[in-house]
Amino acid sequence: MTTEFKPLVADISSKLREFAKEIPDTYNGFQATALATHADGALSKKNKELMAMAIAISARCNGCLGFHAKACVKLGVSRAEFLEMLQVAVYMGGGPSLMTAAEALLAFEEFGGEKAA
**CATH code where residue 61 lies:** 1.20.1290.10
Q: What angle do CA 115, 111, 9 make, to 5 degrees?
A: 145
| Per-residue confidence (pLDDT) for residue 1, from 0 to 100 | 54
Q: What is the tally of structural domains in the chain? A: 1
Taking residues 60-65, report their average pLDDT: 96
End-to-end CA distance of the chain: 21
54 within domain boundaries: yes
| Other CB atoms within 10 Å distance of the CB of residue 77 | 22
**Cα–Cα dist 20/54, whole Å:** 27
- The chain-wide mean pLDDT, for the chain, equals 95
pLDDT tens-place string over residues 89-104: 999 999 999 999 999 9
Q: Which domain holds residue 106?
A: 5-110
31 within domain boundaries: yes
| Per-residue confidence (pLDDT) for residue 93, from 0 to 100 | 92
**In which band, very low, low, confident or very high, does the pLDDT at 41 lie, cut at 50, 70 and 90?**
very high
Is 0.85 surpassed by the pTM of this model?
Answer: yes
